[in-house]
Amino acid sequence: MSEAFWPGGNEAQKGMSCGIFFMPKSLSPGTKHFPKDITILYEDSDILIVVKPFGLLTMGTDSDKSRTLYAILTDYVRKGYSKSPKRIFIVHRLDRATSGILIFAKSMEAKLRLQGRWEETEKKYIAVVHGRCEKRESTITTYLAENKAHIVYSTTDATKGKLSHTVYRVLKDTKKFSLLEVTLLTGRKHQIRVHLAEIGHPVVGDEKYGKGKETYKRLALHAKSISFIHPFSGKRLTFETGFPEYFNKLVERKKQRESLTGK
C-alpha cells in the first residue's frame, strides 16, 4: 500500500496549489533554519522531499558556481553549524529551468538504495507545448544521444544512444497550446524536452530545443508527482504538488481569445 502526501510549508511556490504540510513531529525543524523559498513536502531520518523552484540549479557545475538547492539544503540539515558532519546526497536532478519535486537522501546508503530501485520509481510532469497534438495520448520511443555541443537528439543507432520512453496525455488544448501530463518511463537528460520537440510540439519557453525567437516567462515544465519505495521501510510513498498557475493561464487565455475571435 502506498502513502500519499501533499505539499505545504512556506508559500514561496507562488501559483501552486498547496495542501497539508507533513513532517514527523520529532523532526520538526522550527523556523530559524527553515530554507527560504523552498517547500519541504516530507522529511525523516533517511530522506528529504522538496519542491525545487524554477531558476534554481539542483547542484553546481564547472561553469556555474551560483547558489544551488544542494547548498541550501546542506545548510538546512546542518542547522547553521558549518562544522556539522550532516549532509545530503543527490538522488536525481531537475534542470535549472524545470520546477518540481526532488528526492534527496541523508546518507550514502539511502542514496544507493533509492537509485538501485529507480526503475520502480514513477515520475509525472506537467508541460505546456506548442500546437495541438494530433494524438490525445501516445508513447514516444527513441534512442537518445548527446553531441559535443551538449545537445541531446534521437538516433536509430542503439550503440550511440540510450533507449528512452516518454508517455504523454492531453489534458486541455487550443490551436496554439496543449497542456500535457507526461510520464517518464526512463530518465534521460532532457528527455521530455527532446521527445516533445521532435514530434513537433516543443515545450513553451524552451530556448534550447524549442522556438528560440519567442519569449516566454519560463520553461513550462514541472515535475508534478513522484512515487517510490522508501529505502529502509520498504513502503511505497507518493508525493504530489500542484503546478504553476502560469501554465493554465497560457492555455486559458488562448482559449478565451479563440472563443471571441473564432481563430
All three cell numbers of 169, joined, read 496525455
| Catalytic site includes residue 44 | no
Amino acid in the structure at residue 217: K
Phi and psi angles of residue 108, each rounded to the nearest 5 degrees, phi first: -65, -35
Phi and psi angles of residue 261, each rounded to the nearest 5 degrees, phi first: -100, -20
Amino acid in the structure at residue 8: G
All three cell numbers of 153, joined, read 537528439
Q: If you search the block for the grid coordinates 530501485, which residue do you land on?
A: 117
Q: If you search the block for the grid coordinates 520511443, which residue do you land on?
A: 141
Strands (DSSP E) along 174-261, which ranges? 177-184, 221-229, 236-240
Alpha-carbon gap, residue 111 to 90, rounded angstroms: 7
Q: Specify the 3-state DSSP secondary structure of 87.
A: coil
Q: Are 155 and 145 in contact (CB under 8 A)?
A: yes
CA-CA distances (angstroms) from residue 66 to 71, 92, 159, 235?
A: 10, 19, 36, 36
Q: Check 95, 157, 173, 206 and give the catalytic one.
A: 95
Phi and psi angles of residue 252, each rounded to the nearest 5 degrees, phi first: -65, -40
Catalytic residues: 95
